Structure 1
């Protein structure tokens, strides 16, 4: 957890601004939080697209029969 010497306070890394500065005094106290999207999220998105695409195909077949 980042510690600010000027404010004498521990900060939660998620409560820091994107640039890693102290919200009270503006001093740099930590590295910016990692904000990239995990790789398994994209697998979930791809699976949802394939599933919904297949359901659309089934729906069109149902309408045509």
Structure 2
């Protein structure tokens, strides 16, 4: 949807004038074009979030493994 900066609002393509400008302020707006459909194969959420190449810290893995061991031991204690 086209954005009008002076009016600070989105405009539907049908709300623009025939010349493609804002009906309130008259500023020429560019209509965004979509070159194709976005598929899950083309979308990289880690790259979009800025987490490209970051790994899980070792101490987080340690805490999760210790938590699993503790909860496993608690299950064993129930039956013994």
TM-score, normalised with respect to structure 1: 0.44
For the pair shown, the structure with the greater C-alpha radius of gyration is 2
User: Relative to total residues, which structure has the larger helix share, 1 or 2?
Assistant: 1
TM-score, normalised with respect to structure 2: 0.36
Of structures 1 and 2, the one scoring higher in RCO (CA 8 A, sep 6+) is 1
